[in-house]
Chains A and B, each alone.
Chain A
Amino acid sequence: MTEQACGCPDFANTPAGLTRRTFLNGMLAMGAGLVISNTTGLRYAIAASGDNGADVIITLSMRGGMDGLMAVPILGDKNLARLRPTASVLDSQALILNRTFGLHPNLTTFKKLYDARELAIVHATGTPIGTRSHFDDQNSLELAAYGQPGSATGWQNRYLEAVGTTGVLSGIAVSDQTPVALYGEASTMAFESLDDIALSDIETDHKTYVDTLKRMHARSEHHWSQTAVDSLTASEALKQVKSNPTAKYPDSSSANRFKVLASLLKAGIPIKTAAIDFDGEFDVHSNAGVRSGSMADNFSDLSASVAAFKEDLGPIWRRVTIVTLTEFGRRLEENASAGVDHGWASAMFVMGGGVRGGQVVTKWPGLSESQLDSGDLAVTTDYRHVLAEILKVRGGLSSDAISAVLPSFVPKRLNITHPLHIGATVPIKRPTK
């Protein structure tokens, strides 16, 4: 069975994968309890809010191109009514936000949050370059490194680096796959369910098995192996997290993702930033179903999911900021199949206890033909202004740190957040050990 080896390169060191600055000895010395860190001496003990009292920053991605005018219609606009005979909300049915804007009637939770001043809307916002390509725009939106060709790290990962966190559960995607926004040097974890992510035992005691797998992976510098070491640490830590919803979630995969995230936060897992993909059909090239159908259903699910998440979180809600993202909005004019093709600007929702809500922030570009960009709502507010303010005010980053997270970008304050009061609101939950 012995075979002659060739001069082929070694399996473990040829891959040009990412390596990560990790402190393996620290990881291997991990104990039980809520101390989920790979560096000895650095301990997280504060529930939900993480080590510096900053918010948990949650992205809710609506992949496929979520149209802002379907979610947040401008009221009494002749162009909208004329060009979207079916794929629009009727003024008479919109939930009224102010004299100018309404909300889709199914976004009832958003209306309540808006009225409670915990939800702000930024409209006519989007990426600085609109290619109208799902894949290019999702990718560049998540990298958020415009003008930096070859950049391969996502903005949420750079946020973790800027915070200097080393916890293996600081960055979470409630997903089967790691999203681009989490790519990079800082450790992040992706899992869609709390079930079946514990290591099953083989013929040795559990700790020996875990430590052995860690050692076998620690010998390789490939990103796969380094992630594996952290996956083991995280998997052990997650054993104590039970799904214990105290709110009734809708029966949808998006709601289940919120449910998982709520369980993690309630268990005191020190998450700094989390990514959830909203599982809806937003790429409505035909039969958009704004009044009833696809989009109406998306908004019902979204509204009910957020309502349940807020109720489930209880007081922790005050320490989260949720921001919605999409790669683009849609063309102003609907097509012959009652759908709408790819466009550019959309709307973003920002919600949470620290949000300066009850306002629609926009430099409204208008919907007349000359005001459109190739037939689409124009972007007048770069989405990075929204991220920058959240990261700075609710994430506690300095201006220098912001420029590391969002390079080649000069942010301006939109005034959609309240200043962070460190340690003011959430009772500290001590680890059991």
Chain B
Amino acid sequence: MSGQDKRVQDAAHAPREDFVKGPTVIPFGPQHPVLPEPLHFDLLLEDEKVLGAIPQIGYIHRGLELLVEKRDFADYVHVAERICGICSFMHGMGYCEAVESLLGLPIPDRARYLRTFWCELERVHSHLLWMGLAADALGFESLFMAAWRTRELVLDVAEETAGGRVIFGSAIVGGVSKDPSDETLARCIKALALAREEVKRLSMVMLQNITVRHRLEGVGVLSADAAYALGAVGPMLRASGRAYDARSLGYAAYGEIGFETVVETAGDCMARAIVRAREIEQSFAIMDKVVAAIPAGPVSVPAKGMPPKGESFARLEQPRGEVVYYVRSNGTRNLERFRVRTPTFANVPAMVEAMRGSSLADVPTIVLTIDPCISCTER
């Protein structure tokens, strides 16, 4: 434990009268204008400077992992999808990938391509949601409205292809449950091209606006080594200069489609914003490629029999970073254990590190640029 860490720990557990001498403790959250979900920090301040933060979660735990013992393994995907309202499809799909590898069940090519399409659709709508929230927190109301209006175009495509706006409900063990026709997909690509133009303009407005740059540049700097050592994932890690993206594992159809990992080197809030803006653009390109290359054929194979005794992992790249799914079976229709390591959970230590040394007014910006998803984190 470094000297500063020790000071932070001591201050947190110090008797009340010692606070007068030590750093000021400011509670941040669980209710705060920038937080869409409850997350609490005890911020330890010296004047306006943040010495450290003690995060605390546990406000919205729902016990969804335990439900896997009570549900049929094929039905649990509906629960897995409801872990989060933003990356819902990827949660369902990650669970399916883990169970499919346990069953040794290869899924049809068309299903793999459709999964890739919906993953990227979800990434776009998640990043647009983030862009709106970030703009709102910075006081940029018109950009907030514009970003969410554009997000509606993307959600319409989701509803047209998968049947749901946010809970897609289309991932099932053995493939996907919806099969949009090629005409529908072509129509969707046209609608997405409109959104793409809009996003290009919005990204430019956000990233080149002088006020936004003043708020984000040089704030919450996280070095590449610190990001790696603290286990940061997703845009948080990539903005610090480490080119790591779980999509390069080649799950679903990423192996065939191919893509380039988006990396920025500055490691500050601005770099994280740039990574997300570039990822939206890249996601549109991936969706174009998927629709151009999608093979014909069935979209699902029946998942017959019990999952054999054993365990398996699946790793995906969610909008917020890498997520890990673990399933263990005891040979019955009910799995024994299901565990999700979500990206926000992995990013919290890195966020605390990024806050250190920043001023109190910058804390909301730093919290926002990790794009926290507390529902995922607590499940």
Q: Do A and B come from one complex?
A: no
